Amino acid sequence: MNYYYLSTQRPISIGTFPKVRGEPIDFVNFDKRKLFFGKMAWGYLIYDYALTSKEMNDYELSAMPPEDKVLQTLEAAERMKLLNMHEYAINDFLSDGTLNVSVNGVLCWIEEEMLKHVADLEEKYGTMVYHVIHGDHDFGECLSMLFVSGDAEDWHEERNALQRGYPYAYVVNLSFRECSEFGGIRIKPIKDGFVRIV
C-alpha cells in the first residue's frame, strides 16, 4: 500500500519533503497551486510508508485519502479528459469532488436529489461517479451515471468502452425504478455537456 501527501505550501523540490526513512517513490508538481482533494496544494508525494505527524508538520504536508480512493479519483479525471469535458468540471471534481450533470447538453452543478442516487450507488457497489446525464426518453426519465468501478482490474475494459463511445453507466430510471440497471450507453457531446442517445 502507498501513501499520498499534498505539498500545501511550496512546489516539491530538494529539501521540501522528509526522507529520513527513505525517499518518496514518486511525486507530481502542478503548474500552479490549486485546490486538490479539498486543500490548496502545489503537488503531491507518494511514499511506500506512512509519514508521522511530526514529519507532515515539519514539511507542511497533508495526508490524502486512502490509495484506492486516490487512484479511483485520478482514473475518473482521466476519463473526463477522454470525454473532452470542460476543464472547470474536471477541476471541480479533483478539488473537492463536485459533480456536474448534463441536462439537455448543458453542464450544470448537480442537484441534491440527484446526489442521493449517486451516494446510494457508490456506497452499495464501491464505484465512483464522475458525471451524470439527465434525460427524458421513451422508456422514462433517467439519470445515467458514468462511473469508475471499485475494482482496478475492470478499468482497462471500462476505458476501452468509453473510447469506443459506449461508457459504462448505472442508469436510474426515475419513472420505472424496476428498470434501473448497469450497462453500456451511447452518448454524444452537445453544447458544453452530453446527451444520451441509446
Q: Grid coordinates in use for 164?
A: 469506443
Q: Grid coordinates in use for 85?
A: 469535458
Q: What tens-digit pLDDT sequence spans the chain (198 residues)?
A: 999 999 999 999 999 999 989 999 999 999 999 999 999 999 999 999 999 999 999 999 999 999 999 999 999 999 999 999 999 999 999 999 999 999 999 999 999 999 999 999 999 999 999 999 999 999 999 999 999 999 999 999 999 999 999 999 999 999 999 999 999 999 999 989 999 998
Last residue in a domain, options 45, 64, 83: 64
What residue spans of 84-154 are helical by DSSP H? 87-96, 112-125
Same domain, 90 and 131: yes
Same domain, 169 and 83: yes
Same domain, 57 and 29: yes
**112: Cβ–Cβ under 8 A, 6 or more apart, which residues?**
none
Placement of cell 486516490 in the chain: 70
The distance from CA 188 to its chain's CA centroid, rounded to whole angstroms, is: 20
Same domain, 145 and 187: yes
Q: Residue 36 and residue 92: Cα distance in Å, rounded?
A: 9
